[in-house]
């Protein structure tokens, strides 16, 4: 479903990686590993289409990316908080859904926030939340936005034990439902199975 | 189209949570226009003659003041990245952001201009033309300015550079905008000026979001 | 060694796409430019000397403006070149953006300072002409005003490229700005022209001034040709420097500069 | 030929300052620009040559 071949990337004059290739089918996930500066984040940004690759081919359902279909099927969570500090978690969720052209009623948004342990925080401005809680607001999107491919860059950072376990469960559910995921992390992930790619 | 309106709603909501940023540009406009009579002297005929130019230049600078923030906040917190990857076309979201910028920064200037025009002894019909010209011209300023804001996103010395890039491109708007009011005061027909402003606005509405989107994608790489 | 591999990979792909466009790669354009530069200098020198000779010894004195009109022999070529170079620069920048060819983006970057110089010369000589004819160093004449704005556009392009550290991003951002500028230049020009006729019509116009004698026209065309050849020669010299600066870590540069 | 003397040529019918100012400004700037471009080229060439020399020295030190 996701087929990557011959991907190459350089930063400035430095070559980060070359000839990276893998395929992901339904229910599969890929663990991208590598030392600091090996190019994990660069690979993620290439994969989702934020930066152009020096060489290589990325195909989603047989079609070259980036395409509207690919973006519709994709959730990418990067290093950034990607939430507005001045808005409440609820507003953040509903407005980002609206920007994506997806209707999201208050009930579904609230349910997602509660599942992520933000009960009682839904009407506070995000700026007063802790770093881990901000991260949870972002992760709530995984529940509210239907997407087949999750690309999560260091998603387990800044999360406490409970949240790590919860995210692991979310990913497992997603995979069980036929989804796909590409994850980066230094530490072992609480998700069973998975292919490994070492940069 | 819903995505465009959602962006407008989002940016207005954000601005309402941080009112000071919007009000700064408006106060700047009021103060700058009020400084000119103090610097030049209260001679009504002279003031009347330079009023269109001063109001337009002040509107130009006030618009410029808010431009660096147009994409900067979204860029820093990563929401711009999410917009670029959204299933909604980025051009539509960018158009929404530009529209919100105009509603927050341009429209208040249009509404304030007739009041400030009174300081310069402009009569009612001249004030009407001034407002109309600004109504056509300020969206043009937001559209062109957005290209500059996207090009200088995250760049060293972005604010000054933005002024250098954008101000030369503002000249046609300034010429026809201020020219319309001057022509009216001189008793000439202003239809030509206004229709040229409108034509430029249509052209910019068509091309500027596209160029801005291209520049944003470059900035995100 | 990683660089080496990537470089050859890029060249391979690029040459298969545009194999006919041989100088699309910096590696082959660098020596080619080096071979071309002397010829452009020779053309500039010959046409320049001929042009100067016509400007001072063949072209007759103008009835209206006396000997002062001889300034047009440098003013008009400088103005033409400043406008022409912007178009060429935008063309290369746009090509670089569309086809992702590195040399065209470098060419755009190399042309900008020369274009800015031409605009500056046009303004300077315009001022030298204006002082005796209009009695002021600067007059808000439509042409001079447009030229000033063009000068600002060049400065903006150079400042933007200088402010962005990543060369690839600088190329792309500069290209977008150059294309936006090209769309705007006619609009700016006509708006300034209209603004000018509305306010004050200048009675004597610098460029249309003398009832153009045949010899004057020839002098002007020769000088314009000399300016053109000069611009190409300087831009090629600069683009060679830019190629080496940008590609200094590739293998071919290490072998090219023995 | 409309000039009767060298002095007349330089006076330019009273427009000497302006005509020679224009041509002079062009001459100065159009000599300076190529020199600056050439300087930039030489600068990067020298820097590359230095790097090459350093590589060689490094290599010698490594092998001996």
Whether residue B164 and residue C155 make contact (CB cut-off 8 A), yes or no, is yes
A22 with A197: CB under 8 angstroms? yes
Task: Enumerate residues 6+ apart whose C-beta is below 8 A from A83.
Answer: A89, A92, A126, A134, A137, A138, B77, B79
Measured between CB atoms, which of C68, C74, C117 is closest to D33?
A: C117
**pLDDT > 90 fraction of chain A, expressed in percent and rounded:** 37
> Is the model's pLDDT at C77 over the cut of 60?
yes
Q: Is D56 exposed, middle or buried, given 0-12, 13-18 or 19+ CB atoms closer than 10 A?
A: exposed
Element at A11 (helix H, strand E): strand A2-11
In the prediction, which pLDDT does C208 show? Answer: 55
Domain final residue pick, A127, A145, A163? A145
**pLDDT > 70 fraction of chain B, expressed in percent and rounded:** 100
Residue C130 maps to a domain: yes
Chain A residue closest to C249 (CA)? A13
Chain A from 127 to 156: CB within 8 A of any B CB? none
Report the alpha-carbon distance of residue A79 to residue A42 in Å, rounded: 12
Report the alpha-carbon distance of residue B54 to residue B50 in Å, rounded: 6
Report the alpha-carbon distance of residue A141 to residue A144 in Å, rounded: 5
Report the alpha-carbon distance of residue A60 to residue A81 in Å, rounded: 27
The neighbouring-strand residues paired with A196 are A31
Report the alpha-carbon distance of residue C78 to residue A103 in Å, rounded: 59
In the prediction, which pLDDT does C199 show? Answer: 64
Report the alpha-carbon distance of residue D33 to residue B94 in Å, rounded: 41
CB atoms within 10 A of CB B63: 26
Whether residue D13 and residue C257 make contact (CB cut-off 8 A), yes or no, is no
pLDDT per position as a tens digit, C65-74: 778 888 889 9
Whether residue A98 and residue B87 make contact (CB cut-off 8 A), yes or no, is no
**pLDDT > 90 fraction of chain B, expressed in percent and rounded:** 74
Mean pLDDT to the nearest integer, C189-215: 67
> Is the model's pLDDT at A66 over the cut of 50?
yes
Angle at the Cα of C214 (from C213 to C219), degrees rounded to 5? Answer: 100
Report the alpha-carbon distance of residue B169 to residue C150 in Å, rounded: 10
At B137, the pLDDT band (50, 70, 90 cuts) reads very high
In the prediction, which pLDDT does C61 show? Answer: 80
Report the alpha-carbon distance of residue D20 to residue C128 in Å, rounded: 9
CA-based nearest residue to A134, from A105, A166, A163 = A163
Whether residue C5 and residue A10 make contact (CB cut-off 8 A), yes or no, is no
At C257, the pLDDT band (50, 70, 90 cuts) reads low
Query: DSSP labels for B116-175?
Result: HHHTTT--HHHHHHHHHHHHHHHHHHHHHHHHHHHHTTT-TTHHHHHHHHHHHHHHHHHH
Interface contact C125, partner D, CB < 8 A? yes
Question: What dihedral do alpha carbons C81, C87, C92, C94 form, nearest 10°?
Answer: 160
In the prediction, which pLDDT does A48 show? Answer: 92
Higher-confidence residue of B144 and A145: namely B144
Mean pLDDT to the nearest integer, C237-248: 92
Task: Tell me which of A7, A8, A11, A13 to substitute to probe the interface with C (most C C-beta atoms closer than 10 Å).
Answer: A13
Whether residue A100 and residue B78 make contact (CB cut-off 8 A), yes or no, is no
What are the structural domain ranges in chain D?
17-63
Report the alpha-carbon distance of residue D19 to residue D8 in Å, rounded: 13
> Is the model's pLDDT at C18 over the cut of 60?
no
3-state secondary structure of A121: coil
In the prediction, which pLDDT does C15 show? Answer: 45
In the prediction, which pLDDT does C10 show? Answer: 46
- The single-letter DSSP state of residue A137 is H
Contacts of B84 in chain A (CB under 8 A): 50
Report the alpha-carbon distance of residue C118 to residue C230 in Å, rounded: 11
Higher-confidence residue of A157 and B37: namely B37
Mean pLDDT to the nearest integer, B95-112: 95
Higher-confidence residue of C4 and C195: namely C195
Task: Return the sign of the alpha-carbon dihedral for residues B87, B89, B90, B96.
Answer: negative
Measured between CB atoms, which of C160, C180, C192 is closest to B175?
A: C192
D18 with C67: CB under 8 angstroms? no
Interface contact D30, partner C, CB < 8 A? yes
Report the alpha-carbon distance of residue C225 to residue C77 in Å, rounded: 8
Whether residue A71 and residue B220 make contact (CB cut-off 8 A), yes or no, is no
Measured between CB atoms, which of A76, A95, A125 is closest to B6?
A: A95
Measured between CB atoms, which of B14, B82, B220 is closest to A96?
A: B82
Higher-confidence residue of A53 and C24: namely A53
pLDDT per position as a tens digit, A88-121: 999 999 999 999 888 888 899 999 999 988 888 8
Whether residue B152 and residue C160 make contact (CB cut-off 8 A), yes or no, is yes
* Percent of chain C that is helix, strand, coil (3-state, to 5): 80, 0, 15
Element at A196 (helix H, strand E): strand A195-198
Interface contact B3, partner C, CB < 8 A? no
At C12, the pLDDT band (50, 70, 90 cuts) reads very low
Query: DSSP labels for C144-202?
Result: HHHHHHHHHHHHHHHHHHHH-SSHHHHHHHHHHHHHHHHHHHHHHHHHHHHHHHHH---
What is the domain range of residue A20?
Answer: 1-73+147-199
Whether residue C6 and residue A12 make contact (CB cut-off 8 A), yes or no, is no
In the prediction, which pLDDT does C75 show? Answer: 92
Question: What dihedral do alpha carbons C30, B221, A18, A199 form, nearest 10°?
Answer: 140
Whether residue B219 and residue C183 make contact (CB cut-off 8 A), yes or no, is no
Whether residue B157 and residue C183 make contact (CB cut-off 8 A), yes or no, is no
Mean pLDDT to the nearest integer, B181-190: 88
Interface contact B205, partner C, CB < 8 A? no
Chain C from 171 to 200: CB within 8 A of any B CB? 172-173, 176-177, 179-181, 183-184, 187-188, 191-192, 194-195, 198
Interface contact B118, partner C, CB < 8 A? no
pLDDT per position as a tens digit, C47-67: 999 999 998 888 888 777 778
In the prediction, which pLDDT does C192 show? Answer: 87
Measured between CB atoms, which of B6, B77, B79 is closest to A98?
A: B6
In the prediction, which pLDDT does D1 show? Answer: 56
What mean pLDDT is reported for chain A?
88
**pLDDT > 70 fraction of chain C, expressed in percent and rounded:** 84
A-C contacts at Cβ under 8 angstroms: 23
Q: Which residues of A53-84 are buried (b: 16+ CB within 10 A; e: fewer)?
A: bbbbebebeeeebbeeebbbbbbbbbebbbbb
What is the domain range of residue C227?
Answer: 36-247
Centroid of chain to Cα A100? 15
Lowest-confidence pick of A180-194, B41-55, C104-118 = A180-194
Number of compact structural domains in chain C? 1
C-alpha R_g of chain A: 17
In the prediction, which pLDDT does C195 show? Answer: 83
> Is the model's pLDDT at C16 over the cut of 60?
no
In the prediction, which pLDDT does C110 show? Answer: 96
In the prediction, which pLDDT does D51 show? Answer: 87
CA-based nearest residue to B154, from B64, B68, B85, B66 = B68
pLDDT per position as a tens digit, D14-23: 888 899 999 9
Mean pLDDT to the nearest integer, B122-141: 94
> Is the model's pLDDT at C22 over the cut of 50?
no
C-alpha R_g of chain D: 25
In the prediction, which pLDDT does C239 show? Answer: 95
CA-based nearest residue to A92, from A140, A153, A148, A159 = A140
Determine if the peptide bond prior to A66 is cis (ω within 30°): yes
Higher-confidence residue of A79 and D34: namely D34
Mean pLDDT to the nearest integer, B106-121: 92
Element at B202 (helix H, strand E): helix B191-220
> Is the model's pLDDT at C103 over the cut of 60?
yes
Whether residue B151 and residue C194 make contact (CB cut-off 8 A), yes or no, is no
CA-based nearest residue to A96, from D11, B13, C194 = B13
> Is the model's pLDDT at C8 over the cut of 60?
no
> Is the model's pLDDT at A39 over the cut of 60?
yes
Task: Tell me which of B82, B91, B219 to substitute to probe the interface with A (most A C-beta atoms closer than 10 Å).
Answer: B82
Domain final residue pick, A145, A168, A189? A145
pLDDT per position as a tens digit, C117-129: 999 999 999 999 8
CA-based nearest residue to A98, from C253, B140, C148, B10 = B10
At A150, the pLDDT band (50, 70, 90 cuts) reads very high
**Do chains A and D touch by CB distance (3+ pairs < 8 Å)?**
no
Lowest-confidence pick of A155-159, B80-84, B121-125 = A155-159
Residue A124 maps to a domain: yes
Q: Which of A188-192, B12-16, B185-189, C165-169 has the highest mean pLDDT?
A: B12-16
Mean pLDDT to the nearest integer, A33-57: 88
> Is the model's pLDDT at C26 over the cut of 90?
no
Mean pLDDT to the nearest integer, B90-102: 95
What mean pLDDT is reported for chain C?
84
Lowest-confidence pick of B133-142, C193-202, C210-219 = C193-202
A43 and A59 in a common domain? yes
Report the alpha-carbon distance of residue B142 to residue B149 in Å, rounded: 10
What mean pLDDT is reported for chain B?
92
C-alpha R_g of chain C: 21
Mean pLDDT to the nearest integer, C1-20: 44
In the prediction, which pLDDT does C14 show? Answer: 47
Contacts of C149 in chain B (CB under 8 A): 168, 171
At C21, the pLDDT band (50, 70, 90 cuts) reads low
A-B contacts at Cβ under 8 angstroms: 78
**Do chains C and A touch by CB distance (3+ pairs < 8 Å)?**
yes
Whether residue C74 and residue D26 make contact (CB cut-off 8 A), yes or no, is yes
Centroid of chain to Cα C24? 21
Whether residue D22 and residue C68 make contact (CB cut-off 8 A), yes or no, is no
> Is the model's pLDDT at C92 over the cut of 90?
yes
At C211, the pLDDT band (50, 70, 90 cuts) reads low
Whether residue A15 and residue C6 make contact (CB cut-off 8 A), yes or no, is yes
Report the alpha-carbon distance of residue A11 to residue B44 in Å, rounded: 62
C-alpha R_g of chain B: 18
Which subunits sit against B, judged by 3+ Cβ pairs under 8 A?
A: A, C
């Amino acid at each position: 479903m996701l087929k990557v071949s011959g991907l190459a990337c350089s930063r400035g004059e430095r070559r980060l990686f070359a000839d990276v290739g893998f395929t992901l089918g339904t229910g599969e996930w890929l663990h991208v590993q590598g030392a600091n500066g090996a190019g994990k984040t660069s690979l993620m940004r290439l994969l989702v289409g934020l930066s152009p690759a020096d060489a290589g081919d990325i195909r989603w359902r047989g079609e070259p990316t980036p395409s509207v279909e690919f973006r519709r099927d994709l959730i990418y969570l990067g290093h950034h908080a990607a939430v507005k500090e001045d808005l409440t978690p609820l507003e953040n969720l509903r407005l980002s859904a609206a920007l994506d052209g997806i209707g999201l009623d208050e009930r579904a948004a609230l349910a997602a926030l509660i599942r992520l342990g933000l009960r009682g925080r839904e009407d506070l401005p995000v700026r007063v939340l802790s770093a881990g809680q901000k991260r949870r607001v972002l992760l709530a999107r995984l529940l509210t936005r239907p997407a087949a491919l999750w690309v999560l860059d260091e998603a387990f950072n800044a999360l406490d034990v409970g949240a790590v376990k919860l995210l692991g469960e979310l990913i497992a559910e997603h995979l069980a439902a036929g989804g796909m995921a590409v994850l980066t992390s230094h530490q072992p992930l609480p998700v069973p199975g998975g292919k490994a790619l070492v940069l | 189209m819903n995505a465009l309106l959602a962006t407008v709603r989002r940016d207005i909501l954000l601005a309402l949570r941080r009112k000071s940023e919007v009000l700064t540009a408006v106060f700047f406009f009021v103060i700058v226009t009020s400084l000119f009579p103090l610097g030049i002297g209260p001679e009504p005929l002279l003031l009347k003659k330079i009023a269109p130019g001063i109001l337009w230049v002040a509107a130009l600078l006030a618009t410029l003041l808010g431009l660096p923030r147009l994409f900067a906040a979204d860029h820093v917190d990563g929401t711009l990245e999410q917009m670029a990857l959204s299933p909604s076309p980025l051009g539509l979201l960018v158009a929404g952001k530009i529209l919100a910028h105009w509603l927050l920064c341009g429209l208040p200037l249009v509404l304030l201009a007739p009041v400030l025009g009174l300081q310069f002894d402009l009569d009612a019909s001249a004030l009407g033309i001034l407002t109309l010209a600004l109504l056509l011209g300020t969206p043009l300023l937001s559209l062109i300015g957005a290209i500059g804001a996207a090009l200088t996103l995250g760049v060293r010395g972005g604010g000054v550079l933005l002024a250098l890039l954008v101000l030369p491109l503002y000249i046609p708007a300034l010429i026809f905008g201020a020219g319309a009011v001057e022509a009216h005061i001189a008793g000439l027909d202003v239809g030509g000026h206004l229709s040229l402003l409108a034509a430029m606005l249509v052209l910019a509405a068509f091309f500027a979001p596209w160029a801005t989107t291209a520049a944003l994608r470059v900035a995100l790489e | 060694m990683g660089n080496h591999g990537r470089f050859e990979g890029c060249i391979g792909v690029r040459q298969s796409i545009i194999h006919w466009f041989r100088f699309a790669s910096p590696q082959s354009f660098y020596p080619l430019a080096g071979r071309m530069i002397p010829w452009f200098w020779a053309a500039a020198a010959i046409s320049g000397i001929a042009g100067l000779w016509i400007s001072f010894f063949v072209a007759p004195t103008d009835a209206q403006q006396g000997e002062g009109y001889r300034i047009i022999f440098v003013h008009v070529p400088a103005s033409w070149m400043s406008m022409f170079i912007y178009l060429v620069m935008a063309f290369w920048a746009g090509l670089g953006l569309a086809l992702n060819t590195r040399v065209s983006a470098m060419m755009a970057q190399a042309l900008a300072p020369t274009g800015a110089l031409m605009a500056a010369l046009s303004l300077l000589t315009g001022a030298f002409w204006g002082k005796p004819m209009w009695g002021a160093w600067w007059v808000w004449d439509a042409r001079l005003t447009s030229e000033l704005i063009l000068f600002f556009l060049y400065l903006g392009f150079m400042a933007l490229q200088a402010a962005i550290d990543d060369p690839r991003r600088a190329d792309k951002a500069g290209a977008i700005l150059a294309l936006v500028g090209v769309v705007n230049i006619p609009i700016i020009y006509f708006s300034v022209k209209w603004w000018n006729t509305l306010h004050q019509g200048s009675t004597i116009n610098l460029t249309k001034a003398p009832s153009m004698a045949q010899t004057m026209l020839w002098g002007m065309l020769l000088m314009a040709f000399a300016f053109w050849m000069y611009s190409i020669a300087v831009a090629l010299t600069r683009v060679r420097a830019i190629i080496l600066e940008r590609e200094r870590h590739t293998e071919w540069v290490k072998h090219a500069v023995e | 030929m409309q000039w009767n003397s060298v002095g007349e040529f330089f006076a330019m019918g009273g427009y000497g300052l302006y005509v020679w100012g224009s041509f002079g400004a062009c001459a100065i700037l159009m000599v300076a620009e190529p020199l600056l471009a050439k300087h930039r080229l030489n600068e990067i060439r020298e820097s590359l040559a230095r790097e090459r020399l350093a590589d060689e020295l490094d290599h010698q030190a490594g092998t001996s």
